[in-house]
Structure 1
Amino acid sequence: MGGTAGVAVSELDLALVNALQLRPRASWSELASPLGVTASTLARRWERLCGAGLAWVYAVPGREFTRSRCTAFVLLRCEPGARSGLIERLSACTEVATIEVTAPGSADLLLDVLAPGLASLGRFVTETLDRLPGINSVACLFATSLYVEGSRWRLRSLDPVQLSALGISAPTAADRDRTLDLDTVDRALLDALVCDGRIALAELAERTATSSATVRRRLRRLTDAGVLAFRCDLAAALAGHPVLVTLLAQAPARDIGAVHRTLAVLPECRLVAGVTGPANVLATLWVHDMADIQRRETALCTRLPTLTVTDRIVGLHTVKRMGHLLNTEGRRIGVQPISPW
């Protein structure tokens, strides 16, 4: 058993977080048997983890987002002393999903920007950012494909028996091909779930003036179509205080598939995207320490001889992650909701 600033964290806590990464909206009774404890014990544990800002569940754009909407990774260079003020202003922007404070180099801030379309994303880059004082330069890498994103990253605390008991299944091809037009009820559900992904059906029904059965059908429809996904996130302490590094790399077009497949299976990989610009691959890794950056890069380039890493951006502190505000310890301290749909 360990602790994070006075909060003791047990193996059961880690197993609970891992289970919720796999089944974010599962009921406590569904998780009780695989984890070998009572539902009430799990409810108490989760309330304690959430209250301490150590773990939380929320809604994120699903796999359909990259096909029909826009994602960009924006690298900002700031004037000396301007970064704190920019962070405060950018945190309030609904288009800015994630803000990473980076080690001085090619960028001072790395943003993940989500928008319903290219025009709206362009307006954010050319109008919103242009009006913010203290920015020296802006580099915008548009995502052409997203192979891995944060909701697929796992703690790997559960054993094979527990995983089997959770009954995880993959979406069907028919579900992946479905496209939806969102109405006001869909959008109200999304707005509520980006703040708290475990809101009860009855409360969601009350907020949307519908029934629990309607909410259940809507959520199934949105998740099956890839519009909506759920993520269980955690403070850096629960993940072992990893070092976050974003690699920009180049690979010949013929090898892109192999590059993405190789990166996607790495346990430390949180994000793999195809991007525009001089580099055509962006990957974010959670590694053990600074020395591990070089080891991982060397191993990757040995396995992928046509891959050339062009930049390594080390994250110092995540200020905002998919709309959730974090302190310097990586604990959640608030929400500035995103609305990319």
Structure 2
Amino acid sequence: MKETDAAPSLVQEPVIFAELDLALVNALQLQPRASWVDLAGPLGTTATTLARRWDRLSKAGLAWVTASFGPEFARSRCISYVMIRSEPAERTSVVEQLAQCPEVATIEVATGGHDINCDVLTLDLRDLDRFLTEKVHGVRGVISVSILLTTSLYLEGSRWRLRSLDQDQLNVLNKSTMSRTQGNYVNHLDGLDRSLLGHLANDGRLSWAELASLTDASTATVRRRVNKLISSGIVTFRCELAHSLAGWPIQASLLAQTPAADVDRICRVLAAWPECRFLAAVTGTANVYATFWVRDLGELQRLEARTSGHFPSLTVVHRMVALNTPKRMGHLCDDEGRRTGTVPISPW
């Protein structure tokens, strides 16, 4: 079993996301590794204030930055969704075992036909088969397993936005956001690359000096390597938050079916909806998989009605509501979504 890196102990105090906290999270969604000095101007405060705010949020497990798979990974590697039915008495044990697997990025305990849904990142289909054979099938309490494979990824957590900033703030931050122009594809990752990715998966805001110390390399080398990994699309960064405490207590997913000719058009429109957090075209009877963050179950009902009205050819075949998310992109979470520890992903 992989040792879990524990997060700092949670601060036991009333949870309040102030406007500046939400603005800071939104800014870090746009520029996860920006310095406090660079963010202070657009947010209308000081670097010291931002550093203090982030320290509070991070120590309380309310927000964190992590390395995630980039667009090149989504195109060239395997992203799958493993949906498990388990014995009720064994569900907690099954979740705990799966949470320790670096291939498992996210786990949801949900309503619906499958009570444990996992986002799984592997190099290829053979690695997926090994994961299923060695770490899923045969686990005590697992009744059945269903697999969906991503054919096109339209939206995921690194591209979802909190929408707490005004347009002027967005204009400033977007102008200075790192170029997304693709560089030379990194076909082979060496030991230093993998070490850097592992440390950044644990804490995506580690400084160049901290990374150099952790990897026994120079700051110039780690800066060059990380920037190359970013520009080639291998890695990106995302700022996560305890969504239920920030006003989005309901996370719900829809599996839907539509004619193949309509999939791309529908997904591109859905990906622009502010409630949409994740969206993929997938294999199987259902070929569209969408996840939404909403404020209540009534909003979910209205959202599904809106979806049906906009896309007559789209038929919802399965609905899932997350009861809790024990793991989100390699970070362990409590029932309210606060980070409590880390089992870093290692799909590279």
Deviation at 1:126, TM superposition (A): 2.7
Q: Which residue of 2 aligns with 1:248?
A: 255
Instruction: Kindly provide the amino acid, as one letter, of the partner of residue 140 in structure 1.
Output: I
Query: What corresponds to 1:65 in structure 2?
Result: 73
Residue-by-residue CA offset, 1:265-293 (whole Å, 9 max, x unaligned): 01111111111111111011111211122
Counterpart residue number, 2:197:
190
Query: Would you say 1:111 and 2:115 are equivalent positions?
Result: no
Report SS of the residue matched to 2:313: coil
1:54 corresponds to 2:62: yes
TM-score normalised by L of structure 2:
0.93
Query: What residue identity is the alignment partner of 1:6?
Result: P
Against the structure 1 CA distance between its residues 39 and 240, is the aligned structure 2 distance closer, same or farther, given a 3 Å change threshold? same
CA distance in 1, matches of 2:246, 2:265: 28
Q: Partner of 2:227 in structure 1?
A: 220
Aligned to 1:30: 38
Q: Deviation per CA, 1:171-230, whole angstroms, max 9, x where unpaired?
A: 55544x734321111111000000000011011112222211111111111111110100
Unaligned runs of 5+ in 1: none
Q: Deviations over 1:72-107 (max 9, x none)?
A: 11111011211011011111111111110102x311
CA distance, structure 2, for counterparts of residue 71 and residue 31 of structure 1:
33
Give the letter aligned to residue 297 of structure 2: M
User: What is the percent sequence identity of the aligned residues?
Assistant: 54
Name the residue aligned to 1:145: 152
Cα deviation, residue 162, structure 1: 1.0
Q: Provide the C-alpha distance between the structure 2 equivalents of 1:163 and 1:23, rounded to a whole number of angstroms.
A: 11
Q: Structure 1: how far apart are the matches of 2:13 and 2:267?
A: 37
Select the residue among 324, 328, 341 that pairs with 2:335: 328
Q: Assess, with a 3 A threshold, how the Cα gap between structure 1 residues 71 and 43 changes in structure 2: closer, same or farther.
A: same
Asked whether the equivalents of residues 245 and 336 of structure 2 are also in contact (C-alpha less than 8 Å), the reply is: no
Q: Is residue 262 of structure 2 the alignment partner of residue 258 of structure 1?
A: no
Which of 317, 326, 347 in structure 2 is aligned with 1:340? 347
5+ residue gaps in structure 2?
1-11
Assess if the C-alpha contact under 8 Å between 2:15 and 2:245 holds in 1.
Answer: no
One-letter identity of the residue aligned with 1:51:
K
After the TM superposition, which parts of structure 1 deviate over 6 Å for at least 4 consecutive aligned residues? none
2:26 pairs, out of 12, 18, 28, with 18
Whether the aligned pair in 2 keeps the contact of 1:34 and 1:162 (CA below 8 Å) is: yes
Number of residue-to-residue matches in the alignment: 336
Deviation track 1:87-144 (CA, whole Å, cap 9, x = no partner) reads: 11111111111110102x3111110011111101111113321121101110010111
Q: Of the candidates 139, 142, 153, which is equivalent to residue 132 of structure 1?
A: 139
Q: Is the 8 Å Cα contact of residues 99 and 109 (structure 1) preserved in structure 2?
A: yes
TM-score normalized with structure 1 length: 0.95
Letter in 2 for 1:192: H
Alignment of 1:203-218 (within 5 A): 203-218=210-225
1:222-246 alpha-carbon deviations (Å, 9 max, x no partner): 1111101000000024430331111
* Distance across 1 between alignment mates of 2:257 and 2:186: 32
Contact 1:22 1:168 in 2 (8 A): no
Question: Are the counterparts in 2 of residues 76 and 110 from structure 1 also a CA contact under 8 Å?
Answer: yes
What is the rounded CA distance, in whole Å, between the counterparts of 1:138 and 1:8 in structure 2? 39
Match in the other structure for 2:108: 100
Q: Distance in 2 between matches of 1:66 and 1:8?
A: 35
Question: What's the Cα RMSD here?
Answer: 1.5
Partner of 2:5: none
Kindly state the Cα deviation for residue 326 of structure 1 after the two structures are TM-superposed. 0.5
Q: 1-side partners of 2:286 and 2:246: how far apart?
A: 29
Distance 1:174 1:155, change over 3 A: closer
CA distance, structure 1, for counterparts of residue 182 and residue 211 of structure 2: 27
